[in-house]
Amino acid sequence: MIDLIVLPLIKIVFVLTGVLITVMYLVLLERKVQAWVQARLGPMRVGPHGVLQPIADVVKLFVKEDVTPARAEKWVFTAAPIIVLVPALIAFAVIPFGPEVNLFGRPVPLYITDLNVGLLYIVSVAAIGVYGIILGGWASNSKYPLLGSLRSSAQLISYELAVTLTFVSVILAAGSLSMVEIVEAQRNNGIWFAFVQPVALFIYFVGALAETNRNPFDLPEAESELVAGFHTEYSGMRFALFFLAEYTNMIVVSAVATTLFFGGWLRPFPNVEWLSFLGLVPPWIWFTLKTFALLYLFLWIRATLPRYRYDQLMQLGWKWLIPLAIANIIVTAAVKVVLGS
């Protein structure tokens, strides 16, 4: 009974709270990093160095007026932000934050569940999230949101293909679809898949930038052309849900990248004996550190690169990344057959 219901519930509460707090502070981190890059200070007024800024932001979003456009499709308009957010959150169900540990004399795995189709599960929930974006733009009954949502969904669908193809080469290398076993495979091989599959990592990261609508692929929100893209007509709490979903998705793609390419919860060089003092740091801290390093990369790229043009975006996706990903799969499979492992 405890293992079946109580324990998973506690874990779900922990993970959701953790994710939401991380999102709040990720927003602050983003503003701070942008500010430092541009030789500014960033938020400074609320709390020392602005550490309470996220709380002020949340309060503001909660009390803001929630406007529904007069001729909007009410039902769909309300559902759209929820359809975007829920898949982003439930993706965390299969992300392994750590191995099995002993808590109060009871073995507790530090993940909510270990599906034997874990990686495909993540692909499938990401596929559902697209609906919220299309519907949000359509239900607003306004031109910019509709155009923005068409761009977004075209971008998501194109780059989803490349990202999913990189998963195939990782699966070939690991020999399993389960997130936990992919991490274990990296321990057994004694090497992170980032070094085995550098091409896949590159394609995955570019695709992840595009899938989360981050710079340099933030065309759906190109202010000069489309105001704010698909969520132009949203305000108050409903806008906050879209915002939340975007940052949650950033965490999801970083956590997946950590699991697939950077050894998940494993310490660096898991098989090197004289580095075993690194094992003093708990596994979930390694996981968090790696994920945040990737998140920082997102923010860094945003502060550095200009935006792509729409046709360039589509060309990059279809003419370069997808063929490259397919070639990578063929090479991986061939190498695997030749090595006979």
Partner 1 sequence: MGEAIAFYTLAALILGFAVLVITARNTVHSVLFLVANFLFVAALYVLLGAQFLAVIQVIVYAGGIVVLYLFVVMLVNLKRPPEAHRDRRRKAGLGLAFSLVILAEVVAIAVFGLVQPAHLAAPKAPLPPEAADNVQQVGWALYTQYLVPFEVASMLLLVAMVGAIVLARREL
User: How far is the C-alpha of 157 from the C-alpha of 88, rounded, in Å?
Assistant: 16
The values of phi and psi at residue 129, to 5°, are -60, -25
Residue (134 or 200) nearer to partner 1, CB: 134
Residue (34 or 68) nearer to partner 1, CB: 68
CB of 123 to partner 1, least distance (A): 6
CB of 2 to partner 1, least distance (A): 18
CB of 235 to partner 1, least distance (A): 22
User: How far is the C-alpha of 316 from the C-alpha of 310, rounded, in Å?
Assistant: 10
CB of 177 to partner 1, least distance (A): 6
User: How far is the C-alpha of 41 from the C-alpha of 33, rounded, in Å?
Assistant: 9
Residue (52 or 127) nearer to partner 1, CB: 127
Residue (131 or 284) nearer to partner 1, CB: 131
Is residue 142 within 8 Å of residue 165, measured between CB atoms? no
Footprint of partner 1 (CB under 8 A): 73, 75-76, 79, 115-117, 120-121, 123-128, 130-131, 134-135, 138, 146, 153, 157, 177
CB of 60 to partner 1, least distance (A): 32
Residue (138 or 239) nearer to partner 1, CB: 138
User: How far is the C-alpha of 216 from the C-alpha of 36, rounded, in Å?
Assistant: 19
Residue (272 or 334) nearer to partner 1, CB: 334
CB of 308 to partner 1, least distance (A): 22
Residue (91 or 266) nearer to partner 1, CB: 91
CB of 290 to partner 1, least distance (A): 26
